[in-house]
A and B are shown apart, each in its own frame.
Chain A
């Protein structure tokens, strides 16, 4: 019993379409009913939102391609200015109206676009059917001129042609609406895949040398580990491909057969947990990970990207950096207590204690003046430090290395203020 049906399109095409878009039947049938027949008017603008990889682009592409509807598909990240975007739409329109060579159409504002669009649509093929303009990653439209988004939303009215603009994005419509309002589009939601859907989609194309059940069990374990953290289909697919060879290993070696689910699970589970800390964060690249599995190396013995942050610094630069860290994360009033040998009596007041508690590592580094940095530096270095030109040039070179940053660029020479922008781990490594 096919779920999709529409009088305007042959049943075979719809059946094919249904097999191409698993778990998206209701969305596709709704879109079909909104699109209607070719010569009928459709809604001027449709706004589709949903999570990352919930099949917005894919469904729209397959739908338009299988039904052979005239359409233009543009990614707004790729064409990031209004001029590029409008010209690309006109180019693609030319190519879907006739097979002749497409030529570049100069078009720098929307007024020209509407005129040229009318010309392009006037051809015989496009005259009496709905033309679809799909704008992927539509959140970029907000970055363009203020008139672009409202004008696209009412393109049907402006051009007086049968055209539907479809916006695909991850962000909700409320954050798009301009201040003075605009033509309200029809908003549709592509819901997230549930765990059952993910399982179905992921185990759809299993490797041919193993049985479907075997692969489905693998996907089940994978989802068990990663579902808490990640529901992104693409990411899960990628992880599934990467780790499958490890899962098969006991079977290949003959230690277990395909039915020993428990043994297989015991084998793979720590491996997958390791993968979350490394491959999922892109600490280790996937090719490295594959090589590691191939050589049977212990996962995690490779140093990831973040482990390479250790920088070799000269002697005084290390002390400067430590001094800067101390200055950034400690309040100035405690300096005397910590860094002077003969400080006065310590008065433990309530307010001081409370203040220290909140200001520690939660709020982030505070800016400090250069004088304080130097004072702390002199007190933590045991021998005498001469304030030579070298010391000062090392401070500025730390700024260019982005280990320190300058705050409020008001004056270069007179009393500059700095901030320390390195983490505690990094400073610990330097101090050791």
Chain B
């Protein structure tokens, strides 16, 4: 991939760069089917075989594609479908229904969507259905009318399969699997999921109708296969870091996207420093960033909470305790701080709650006094110390106070 990029970008031409950006952006962002599959050839063959059997021989099947997020489930499926569409005997002989668990959140919506995608609306439109069950019965009737040899096969793709499991009684899944088990219209159900325990979530009757065919997509490649694009040492280091963090290819795409978007006419080649810059971008600790922007008073409160956590071993605390701790600090040392009034400190504390660095243990009710609500700190002490190192113009005594908790008691 990178070889081609470097070849093209050597031509210093704005038009050319625009084209390169367009192609690469499409590839990185839009998950454009790029024609090459990486590390999943075996699974691809398996899936293709399965789909072919449905279409050509009229076999009903069901399968589950399981793999972590970003492991190429959708890419694999699209690849297989593309290949199928290219075949002569398939063309015009396959109906596809794509459902997504995020969109079709209940069976009623899903049913409507199936009707729409099968273009049965005009058929359904004339009839008045009283209930969901009748509508489903009609659709199934339309499916049942055919038999194995004559009727057009239907392919159901259920993206985010684990969300369909939470539908009431799993009616949709039951009916789909039931059709695929009995000798009616050839139906293939492909589920895509990232949960490995999806089968345990199925009801017993649904599970028994599912042919336990599972295709696993693990990111089963090692670092040598992962890089294969650069001999540069710095780039390799960055990639090694990324690889230790995750084998997910989407993060690699994100990194490359960052690097590519910096390519301009003046700067036509992707350099190692671009990649480094991009990796810095995704490795930022977000909470440290937030702590960096707090005021000195808020930092003091966080340190007080840290001390409370250390002394009382993670017991929840309330505002009064934090204020007490802060007062102790002010009275004993703190030459640079003047004494803030309690409401001012309270306002700072509420800002911390608003940023969700501190979280109430129970929902605050109207009746309870806000000083005595029990809270929990969502930062650990290492994060606080690291953030304090980077904090601009931190008063020295605050820093000293942060380091020594016990000597103040």
Contact = CB atoms under 8 A, between A and B. Distances in A.
Interface of A: 5-7, 33-34, 36-37, 39-44, 49-52, 54, 109-111, 114, 145, 147, 150-151, 154, 156-158, 162, 170-175, 180-184, 186-189, 191-192, 194-195, 227-231, 276-277, 280-281, 283, 306, 361-365, 402, 405, 421, 423
B42 interface: no
Contact of A44 (B29, B284, B287): B29
Interface stretch (B86-94, B121-129, B134-142, B290-298): B290-298
18 contacts: A33-B261, A41-B29, A51-B355, A111-B104, A147-B102, A147-B103, A147-B163, A184-B69, A194-B392, A229-B340, A229-B344, A229-B348, A231-B295, A277-B341, A281-B347, A306-B343, A365-B372, A402-B366
Nearest to A184: B250
B25 to A, nearest CB: 5
Interface in B194-239: 194-195
B296 A228 contact: yes
Query: Quick one: which of B102, B257, B369 has the most chain A CB within 10 A?
Result: B102
A392 B372 CA distance: 27
A224 B397 CA distance: 19
B289 A36 contact: no
Nearest to B320: A362
Contacts of A276: 344
Interface stretch (B14-22, B143-151, B182-190): B14-22
Contact of A36 (B21, B100, B250): B21
B295 A228 contact: yes
A7 B284 contact: no
A271 to B, nearest CB: 16
Nearest to B345: A229
B295 A170 contact: no
Contacts of B163: 147
B337 A228 contact: yes
Contacts of A171: 355-356
A380 B74 CA distance: 76
A145 B22 CA distance: 35
A174 B21 contact: no
B384 to A, nearest CB: 15
A31 to B, nearest CB: 10
A364 B318 contact: yes
Contact of A157 (B31, B258, B294, B344): B31
A170 B351 CA distance: 11
Interface in B1-43: 14, 17-18, 21-22, 25-26, 29-31
Interface string B351-371: 100111000000000111101
A154 B320 CA distance: 44
B261 A361 contact: no
Nearest to A161: B30
Query: Quick one: which of B289, B318, B341 has the most chain A CB within 10 A?
Result: B289
B318 A402 contact: no
Contacts of B29: 41-44, 156
B interface, over-half SS = helix
B118 interface: no
Nearest to A273: B338
B251 interface: yes
B102 A151 contact: yes
Contacts of B344: 229, 276-277, 280-281
A110 B103 contact: yes
Contact of A40 (B22, B113, B264, B371): B22
Given A172-B287, A276-B344, A50 B371 contact: no
Contacts of B282: 187
B56 interface: no
Given A49-B286, A51-B290, A181 B69 contact: yes
Question: Would you list the 6 A-B pairs with minimal beta carbon distance, nearest first?
Answer: A364-B372, A192-B293, A172-B286, A405-B367, A111-B103, A33-B261
Contacts of B250: 183-184
B295 A421 contact: no
Interface string B245-258: 00000110010011
A27 to B, nearest CB: 12
B271 interface: no
Interface string B104-123: 11000100110000000000
Given A7-B264, A228-B297, A110 B22 contact: no
Contacts of A110: 102-103, 105
A36 B284 CA distance: 23
A223 B287 CA distance: 26
Contact of B286 (A54, A187, A194, A402): A187
Contacts of A145: 105
Given A184-B69, A186-B257, 4 more contacts: A37-B22, A50-B293, A180-B162, A184-B250
A285 B73 CA distance: 59
Contacts of A229: 295-297, 340, 344, 348
B18 A37 contact: yes
Contacts of B101: 147
Given A49-B286, A147-B163, A158-B100, A40 B372 contact: no
A43 B284 contact: no
Contacts of A51: 290, 293, 355
A423 B319 CA distance: 14
Nearest to B365: A405
Contacts of B102: 110, 147, 150-151, 154, 158
B367 A227 contact: no
Contacts of B366: 402
Interface string B316-347: 00101100100000000000010011011001
B105 A147 contact: yes
B378 to A, nearest CB: 8
B265 interface: yes
B262 interface: yes
